[in-house]
Amino acid sequence: MSKSDQLFEQARQTIPGGVNSPVRAFNGVGGTPRFIDHADGAYLYDVDGQAYVDYIGSWGPMLLGHNHPAIKAAVIKAVEKGLSYGAPTEIEVLMAEKVRQIVPSMEQVRMVNSGTEATMSAIRLARGYTGRDKIVKFEGCYHGHADSLLVKAGSGALTLGQPNSPGVPADFAKHTLTCVFNDLDSVREAFIQYGNEIACIIVEPVAGNMNCIPPVPGFLEGLRAICDEFGSLLILDEVMTGFRVSLRGAQGHYNIEPDLTTLGKIIGAGMPVGAFGGKKKVMQHIAPTGPVYQAGTLSGNPVAMAAGLTMLELLLEPGLYEQLSAKTARVAEGLKAAATKHGIPLAITYVGGMFGFFFTEESDITRYEQVTRCDMERFKRFYHLMLEEGVYLAPSAYEAGFLSLAHGDKEIEHTLAAAERSFAKLAG
Ligand code: PLP
């Protein structure tokens, strides 16, 4: 029995499912999750001493690789001054200024402790600002686990939302309309029926929670136009895409100006941080300047700010995103070439530092329903073959993969050679 096996058994006694966030339990692929001892650069090291080239990067934050020396030094320096004060600090101001410098649509920024808090607060603000209750989200997009957002589409295209978790009151879910990602007609229909009741559209501009699905040309622009027409706010949930798809996130890459943006993951460099922000005239409605309540004992925590600010400063170095995109393209195209060589149909997607691969005959993946039709059994087998080869992919066919700048030739070559052997076994 491996040490991971032992720890998983032990963990399940005191932690539900043995994990503090469900996807870590490997339910999507079966088997025992690897318990991690430490991480460095592009690698994770498990408690049994096995090294893995990591394509999760703590689900996104590790854009510069694990254990980056400058970020570690900034954290240690901050820790020496105390862990939390519950009072304003200069570094919070510097952080807000840095975010606005990089993402100019975020004229004002409020720090929170997670992506969930960021989206939950942005939605409350959109509702408070517009005086409307309904929101529009997209099937397959994930925005954290706040009640309004754990909602699936009703059975008809335009029935009101239904909870997709027990514990979410149907009375809350009914305010959430769920449309089809990359299908503007479904959004227009929702607005024709409920337009002046809709506070906002919230969207992952590149969907990363249904594998990786970029927006089709015109989709984000269409959402912007519909929001303008009906006086609703456009919230780009850039918790995953922020500082990953480009320095200015997906809004920079696709040139879309949202009313509000939510950030997480990279903005904390691995510390528990999120943020939301946007137009000053909207942000002014948040307490204490406005009536929409939002708060946090540990928000703007000085240690987390030190990590995040150092990360953002490092990301300003010219040329980094060209490198990141080139590495991502090499991995995604390499996976496709290796699969094709062994007669395995595989579709790929990639933007900036995120990518997806799909075991399907279809070549152009733009819809959630296409993801649900993929060969999940093949994905699971491939996943475990790669894990045995020392490559750590997301343990679910519904998650995007992430690269870091620490992924060098050696790691990419190892990954593609491992993929080639794994596809050969799948084909055999
Ligand atoms: N929004 C998006 C797009 C996400 O991918 C996630 C998490 O993966 C969240 C929000 C929620 O963030 P957190 O897990 O930090 O609460």
The pLDDT assigned to 305 comes to 98
Do the interacting molecules here have an ipTM over 0.90? yes
239 lines ligand 1 (CB under 6 A): yes
Determine the distance separating the centroid of ligand 1 and the alpha carbon of 20, expressed in angstroms.
14
Are 294 and 332 in the same domain?
no
Q: What is the pLDDT along the chain (428 residues), one digit of tens a residue?
A: 999 999 999 999 999 999 999 999 999 999 999 999 999 999 999 999 999 999 999 999 999 999 999 999 999 999 999 999 999 999 999 999 999 999 999 999 999 999 999 999 999 999 999 999 999 999 999 999 999 999 886 655 455 677 888 899 989 899 999 999 999 999 999 999 999 999 999 999 999 999 999 999 999 999 999 999 999 999 999 999 999 999 999 999 999 999 999 999 999 999 999 999 999 999 999 999 999 999 999 999 999 999 999 999 999 999 999 999 999 999 999 999 999 999 999 999 999 999 999 999 998 999 999 999 999 999 999 999 999 999 999 999 999 999 999 999 999 999 999 999 999 999 98
The pLDDT assigned to 154 comes to 61
Active site residue 336: no
Determine the distance separating the centroid of ligand 1 and the alpha carbon of 145, expressed in angstroms.
8
Are 307 and 324 in the same domain?
no
State the angle between helix axes of 219-230 and 184-194 in degrees (0 to 180), rounded to the nearest 10: 10
Active site residue 237: yes
Amino acid 308 reads: G
115 lines ligand 1 (CB under 6 A): yes
Q: Ligand 1, atom 7: nearest CA belongs to which residue?
A: 144
**Residue/partner pairs of 206-209 with CB below 8 Å, 24 or more apart:** 206/240, 206/241, 206/245, 206/250, 206/351, 206/354, 207/138, 207/140, 207/141, 207/181, 207/368, 208/240, 208/241, 208/354, 208/399, 208/400, 209/140, 209/141, 209/142, 209/240, 209/398, 209/399, 209/400
264 lines ligand 1 (CB under 6 A): yes
CA–CA dist 422, 415 (Å, integer): 10
Q: Is 366 helix (H, G, I), strand (E, B) or coil?
A: coil
Q: Ligand 1, atom 5: nearest CA belongs to which residue?
A: 240
142 lines ligand 1 (CB under 6 A): yes
268 lines ligand 1 (CB under 6 A): no
Are 42 and 172 in the same domain?
no
Buried residues in 242-257 as b, exposed as e (16+ CB within 10 A) = bbbbbbbbbbbbbebe
Are 90 and 220 in the same domain?
yes
Catalytic residue among 98, 134, 137, 265: 265
Q: Which atom of ligand 1 is nearest to the CA of 119?
A: 10
Are 175 and 299 in the same domain?
yes
Are 99 and 206 in the same domain?
yes
Are 92 and 52 in the same domain?
no
The pLDDT assigned to 157 comes to 47
CA–CA dist 223, 135 (Å, integer): 13
Last residue of a domain, one of 268, 295, 315: 315
119 lines ligand 1 (CB under 6 A): yes
Determine the distance separating the centroid of ligand 1 and the alpha carbon of 60, expressed in angstroms.
10
Q: Which atom of ligand 1 is nearest to the CA of 265?
A: 15
Active site residue 265: yes
Are 330 and 282 in the same domain?
no
CA–CA dist 387, 379 (Å, integer): 12
CA–CA dist 354, 349 (Å, integer): 8
How many C-beta neighbours within 10 Å does residue 21 have?
Answer: 9
Mutate to test the pocket of ligand 1, among 62, 236, 240, 298 (most ligand atoms within 8 A of CB): 240
CA–CA dist 408, 165 (Å, integer): 41
143 lines ligand 1 (CB under 6 A): yes
Contacts of 428 (CB under 8 A, 6+ apart): none
Question: For 258, which DSSP code?
Answer: -
The pLDDT assigned to 427 comes to 95
Q: Are 200 and 123 in contact (CB under 8 A)?
A: yes
CA–CA dist 66, 52 (Å, integer): 12
Are 251 and 380 in the same domain?
no
Last residue of a domain, one of 296, 315, 334: 315
Last residue of a domain, one of 315, 343, 374: 315
116 lines ligand 1 (CB under 6 A): yes
Tokens in use for 279?
A: 């137009």
Contacts of 93 (CB under 8 A, 6+ apart): none
Are 259 and 376 in the same domain?
no
> pTM surpassing 0.80?
yes
Are 285 and 343 in the same domain?
no
Amino acid 100 reads: R
CA–CA dist 160, 173 (Å, integer): 8
Q: Which atom of ligand 1 is nearest to the CA of 114?
A: 15
Determine the distance separating the centroid of ligand 1 and the alpha carbon of 425, expressed in angstroms.
35
Are 237 and 350 in the same domain?
no
Q: Which atom of ligand 1 is nearest to the CA of 141?
A: 3
130 lines ligand 1 (CB under 6 A): no
Mutate to test the pocket of ligand 1, among 181, 262, 265 (most ligand atoms within 8 A of CB): 265
Strands (DSSP E) found in 33-175: 36-40, 43-46, 51-54, 108-112, 134-138, 151-152, 162-163
Number of domains observed in the structure of the chain: 2
Residue ranges making up the domain that contains 376: 3-67+318-427
Q: Which CATH number does the domain housing residue 203 bear?
A: 3.40.640.10
Q: Are 238 and 249 in contact (CB under 8 A)?
A: yes
The pLDDT assigned to 259 comes to 98
Q: Which CATH number does the domain housing residue 63 bear?
A: 3.90.1150.10
Contacts of 255 (CB under 8 A, 6+ apart): none
